[in-house]
Amino acid sequence: MRTKTTTSTPVDVEDLGESNVSREAAGERGIRIKLRPAATTTFHIGGKGFRRYVVRNGLLTVTAKRVLGKSQTKAVVKEKEWGHTSEVTEAIKPFTIGEKIPYRQVIRARLRRLKEHLTATTHAPEVSLGERVAGICAHPGLRFAERLGARLQALLAISDEEQPEQAPPALASVKSLVAFLAAHPELVYPSVVLTQEGNVRVQWGGGPNKHFAVEFLGDGDVRFVIFAPDPRHPYKTIRVSGSATVDSVMRLAEPYDVRSWTDELFVGADAQ
Amino acid sequence: MSGDHIPDPDHIARYCGGKQIDENGRIDGAAFRLRRRDGIPEEYLSVNWLEFLATVNRPAQVAALQAVFLSKAFKVGSTARFAVLNVGDLRAYVRDESPDRRELSVLHEPEQDDASHCGLYGLRMDDDLISDLIAGIVHETYSAKAG
């Protein structure tokens, strides 16, 4: 017997109270855990049934629809980060319909693993900017990997040619951009430039009242500019700018309806 | 003369490196930001006064400006462009559309090897919104490299 659950508004796992949460409740409410740094990771708990956890930009969300089978005792966890896949098999207590599931324990184990993985990634020998940019062309988590990689390579070439007093492209900024785009596959391809400081700056729109630009500072922060129609007075334009973290900038921008010109859903696959 | 206001009907050109030009040839606002030189913020944005160079027509003005950059010890990028702006339009647009009704001014700041050099005053460091406003009204660009 299988129970179908639906994902609705996610809540922080801390809000769920005790460690044992009923399968139905968790399925209906979903679970979201804040996690830094930004990453896109997909967990698959394999077996007869499955659950799927997606970490996007620091948020871990349960998006699964099915419960594990009665005889399930192992979970296969696949983690993908920067094209690297690791697989871990872990014992999970078997349970039956109606039984309480230790969601918090399960997720904590996943988080621990993810954190270890991210730490290991951080401490891995640093690759050069050229290698990193070349690698972007084959990045499995980016929808526009080839186009973005080619564009960054072109910018690198321009940077080499132009004034030597200007900063070279910042590797940390490039990494931040890639993590951001991987976490937001719904975004259409933006225009990409380099600032005089060597940071990557992307922009969607281009009209006088549809403009969303984000500069990746490389330390997990961004600077953004938004020009958008005032929802109550569409003939007027709202203009805001500021600083935010990579994983919060889209949420900050949403009230200005930037999705209407940044999301493929609204813009169309072939736009830009 | 140094410090003179450039008249509103006249035009200025900003050198924009290829890194600040997108794939569609649009100049990004990053090209209109003040920089830090040796840790010290620039006082103004460097631009050139086109009518000072030649009054015949735009191609003649641009050719003269290309020659000025060639004569300076300045590496002109092959993809770099001059963004041309009308002084009056620029000042009015920024004044009308910026949240703080920013008042910009363009003053003549001649240099030894660049008599048409001017400064766009009124910008601040990290003034991304104003820079993007300026980029939004660039409708004329020309290659910065001669030939």
Q: Greater confidence, A142 or B128? A: B128
**CB contact set of B109 (below 8 Å; sequence gap of 6+):** B2, B3, B44, B117, B118, B119
Chain B nearest-CA distance from A27, in A, is: 43
∠A60-A63-A69 over CA atoms, to 5°?
Answer: 115
pLDDT of the residue at A37: 31
What residue spans of chain B are helical by DSSP H?
50-53, 58-71, 87-97, 128-136
Q: Do B75 and A239 touch (CB under 8 A)?
A: no
pLDDT of the residue at A135: 82
| Token couple for A72 | 């399930």
pLDDT of the residue at B9: 96
Q: Does B17 touch chain A (CB under 8 A)?
A: yes
Residue B61, SS3? helix
Rg of chain A over Cα atoms, rounded to whole angstroms, equals 21
Cα first-last separation, chain A: 47
pLDDT of the residue at A163: 64
Query: What does A236-256 look like in DSSP terms, one character per residue?
Result: SEEEEEEEEETTTHHHHHGGG
Cβ pair B79, A159 in contact under 8 A: no
Q: Does B21 touch chain A (CB under 8 A)?
A: yes
Q: Do A194 and B19 touch (CB under 8 A)?
A: yes
Q: Which residues of A touch B128 (CB under 8 A)?
A: 213, 215, 223-225, 241
pLDDT of residue B125 exceeding 80: yes
CB-closest option in A164, A206, A239 to B99: A239
pLDDT of the residue at B37: 82
pLDDT of the residue at A136: 87
- Residue range B105-113: mean pLDDT, rounded: 95
∠B119-B122-B123 over CA atoms, to 5°?
Answer: 90
Q: What is the mean pLDDT of chain B?
A: 94
Q: Do B30 and A194 touch (CB under 8 A)?
A: yes
Among chain A residues, CA nearest to B133: A208
Q: Do A193 and B33 touch (CB under 8 A)?
A: no
pTM over 0.80: no
Query: pLDDT (tens digit, 0 to 9) for every residue of chain A, 272 residues total?
Result: 333 333 333 333 332 222 323 333 333 333 333 333 333 333 344 333 344 444 443 333 433 333 344 433 344 444 443 344 444 444 444 333 333 334 444 555 555 655 555 555 545 556 677 777 888 888 888 888 999 999 999 999 998 888 666 667 788 899 899 999 999 999 999 999 999 889 999 999 878 899 999 999 988 899 999 999 998 898 999 999 999 999 999 999 999 999 999 987 777 644 44
Question: What phi and psi, each to the nearest 5 degrees, are found at residue A89?
Answer: -100, 130
Nearest to A226 by CA among A248, A252, A195, A199: A252
Nearest to B15 by CA among B99, B94, B89, B79: B79
Q: What is the pLDDT of residues B32-78, one digit of tens each?
A: 999 988 888 999 999 999 999 987 899 999 999 999 999 987 889 99
CB-closest option in A208, A213, A237 to B29: A213
Q: Does B35 touch chain A (CB under 8 A)?
A: yes
ipTM of the complex: 0.94
pLDDT of the residue at A223: 97
CB-closest option in A151, A162, A203 to B17: A162
Q: Which residues of A touch B26 (CB under 8 A)?
A: 191, 206
Q: Rounded to an integer, what distance in angstroms lies between the CA atom of residue A17 and that of residue B127?
A: 45
Q: Do A159 and B19 touch (CB under 8 A)?
A: yes
Nearest to B14 by CA among B25, B1, B36, B29: B29
- CB count in 10 Å sphere of residue A120: 12
pLDDT of the residue at B34: 96
Alpha carbon separation from B109 to A108, B51, B83 (Å, rounded): 63, 14, 19
pLDDT of residue B101 exceeding 90: yes
pLDDT of the residue at A244: 94
Q: Which residues of B touch A163 (CB under 8 A)?
A: 17, 74-75, 77
- CB count in 10 Å sphere of residue A234: 10
Q: Do A239 and B129 touch (CB under 8 A)?
A: yes
pLDDT of the residue at A95: 37
The pLDDT confidence band at residue B3, using thresholds 50, 70 and 90, is confident
Chain A nearest-CA distance from B91, in A, is: 16
Q: Rounded to an integer, what distance in angstroms lies between the CA atom of residue A94 and that of residue A60?
A: 23
Q: What is the pLDDT of residues A248-269, one digit of tens each?
A: 999 999 999 999 999 877 776 4
Q: What is the pLDDT of residues A181-234, one digit of tens each?
A: 999 999 999 999 999 889 999 999 878 899 999 999 988 899 999 999 998 898
pLDDT of residue B14 exceeding 50: yes
Would you report the helix, strand and coil content of chain A in percent, each value rounded to 5? Answer: 30, 30, 40
Cα first-last separation, chain B: 31
A–B: how many Cβ contacts below 8 A?
Answer: 85
